[in-house]
Structure 1
Amino acid sequence: MELDENIILQIKSKLTSLSKSEKKLGEYILSHAVETVNDNTSELAKKAGVSPATVVRFCRSIGLSGFSQLKIRLYADASGGLDREIYTDITPNEDIAMIADKLALRFNQSITQTANLLETSCIEKITAMVDKSPAIYVYGIGASHVAAEDFTHKFSRIGKPVVHTLDHHLLGSSLINASKDCMFVAISNSGETNEAIKLTQIAKQNGLFTVGITQKRDSTLASIVDAPLIHHGGEAVLLRSAATTSLAAQLFTIDVLYFAYVAKHYHEIMGRLKNSKINIQTFFRKENN
């Protein structure tokens, strides 16, 4: 069952990918969300200065079945009192409570959309390969480096050898000499990061199973990997709150992958985690004495 997304943010995140007439309609709806609930297709089209066919196409372009579903979703959001300020980016001297509310709204939207985008069959395929891989190679740069580190920490703790470095030359050399049973995971929000793409190509040439974690289904990275994991990206805004929510979506994606693997080996992994915790605590306690 898909989770309900915030329709206002859903429209805002799709605006740049819409046709000129659909974008015009989307901008009108964002400015007249409450009034739109009471319009029929022809009335909305006339007010927005587009054709009725554009209304139908717009609904499909943002992932809805039709205008009726759009009105229901708009009504659900507006019924609680539509505060347009909360949908804007951070402003000068912004109230701290409002900053928290704005970010919470975007984080919730990002996680919800990512949960709806993740494909179960793809997750299962990757977890099966984690079992077979003697080592996992991971790469991410910039904000994606944080996600790559999180991946490394999680899977290393449960006994999977993970190779992770920002030095793409060193990682490239490691991939060339890696066993063909190994896995390579590239993390790139845009899916167009040159280093991530080149390393993926090296991994593929050497027979490794490749995974791409990205927000762009039509990106270069998603098109060349064996298993693309698509997450929500967020709307483009000046202060890069989209970059923040994209990172949250990446971390959520890695969490889903990690816990899906843990669920398949629950008792074995819980035993490992318990033993490692006891041994580490004992070791460092002795060191401090």
Structure 2
Amino acid sequence: MSSENVIDMIYSNLSAMTQTDKKIAQSILKNPGDAVNYTISELASKSSVSEASVSRFCKNLQLTGFHQLKIELAKVSDDESSYYKVVNIDNIQQAITNIKDNKNSEISNTLASIDTSTIKKVMKLIESSRIFQIAAEGNTFPVVEDASYRFNQIGILTICSESWETSIGQTLNLASDDVLMVISNSGESKRLLKQIRIAKKKGIKVIAITNRNDSPIALEAEYHLRTAVRQKVLQSEYYFSRVAAMTVVETIFLLLIAKDRKRLSRITEHEAIISDTKI
């Protein structure tokens, strides 16, 4: 089992689970504090599946069995930051509070999952790169635009493009001393996988930000930073949030400034140049 807590593990694997595993996952996620006290037969009954299905569910999470699942749940059962809180429009104030709690949970669990050794290597790669390219698709691209703005501000030449065709063209012009960062919630984008493979053929190091350690994009990249996602969209099992990915980007940005305070002068210079465009 990886260092991520079992609730994060369930959330990150939810979209790839079988329908049977999803039933078990939802029974656990509904209230991990209750689930820790279930017997295997109780969890099976509440999920409308067999006990054998519960055992397979545990194996699919790389756990040794139901006993280890209970041990891992016990570690987080009292930690409400691990839970997803339902957003119900019938009570706006409570809905706002629950959204706040979900977002706080995404940030705290994302930061808690960052490996110190990995983040140091990622920082070294980025600051020593000739060109830093960042790529994403669809509704993740605003994270890339924000990242590009930030890193250019502190003196790291960063490029990106919302057009995948243009982004591929940029990758083809990179050299082995450049770096490609790919941001993907699911880590399963066929286009981004193709872009990573093109970069690797050119000897370019790849950093991935996804919410699954075993996602195809995470496995292709040299370095992976995992996000923790809690915000469920509508009533589906689909979880998406830009907050977690932006948290990783901003963490790298702030650590690079902390490492070299001279980067602050670059921000000041940039702000001074654009200040006369403000009212």
1:138 is paired with a residue whose SS is: strand
Q: 2:264 aligns with which of 270, 273, 278?
A: 270
Asked if the contact 1:59/1:65 (under 8 Å) is kept, the reply is: no
1:214 has 2:210 as partner = yes
Alignment of 1:1-289 (within 5 A): 39=37, 44-49=39-44, 61=61, 67=70, 70-71=73-74, 73-74=76-77, 87-88=85-86, 90-91=87-88, 93-234=89-230, 237-238=233-234, 243-245=239-241, 247-266=242-261, 268-281=262-275, 284=276
Q: Distance in 1 between matches of 2:168 and 2:178?
A: 14
Q: State the structure with more CA Rg.
A: 1
Relative to 1, partners in 2 of residues 1:69 and 1:59: Cα closer, same or farther, differing over 3 Å? farther
Q: Distance in 1 between matches of 2:27 and 2:188?
A: 32
Structure 2 residues not aligned, in runs of 5+ = 45-49
Asked if the contact 1:13/1:235 (under 8 Å) is kept, the reply is: no
In the alignment, residue 251 of structure 2 is paired with which amino acid?
V
1:123 is paired with a residue whose SS is: helix
Q: Distance in 2 between matches of 1:104 and 1:5?
A: 21
Q: Which residue of 1 aligns with 2:47?
A: none
Deviation (angstroms), 1:234: 3.4
Q: Distance in 2 between matches of 1:244 and 1:31?
A: 18
Deviation (angstroms), 1:173: 2.0
In the alignment, residue 260 of structure 1 is paired with which amino acid?
L
Deviation (angstroms), 1:136: 0.8
Aligned-pair identity in percent equals 19
Q: Distance in 1 between matches of 2:79 and 2:164?
A: 48
In the alignment, residue 203 of structure 2 is paired with which amino acid?
G
Deviation (angstroms), 1:104: 1.5
Normalized against structure 1, the TM-score is what?
0.73
Alpha-carbon RMSD across the aligned residues, in angstroms, is 4.0
Q: Distance in 2 between matches of 1:168 and 1:15?
A: 27
1:185 is paired with a residue whose SS is: strand
1:217 is paired with a residue whose SS is: coil
Normalized against structure 2, the TM-score is what?
0.75
Q: Distance in 2 between matches of 1:227 and 1:17?
A: 22
In the alignment, residue 265 of structure 2 is paired with which amino acid?
G
Asked if the contact 2:133/2:159 (under 8 Å) is kept, the reply is: yes
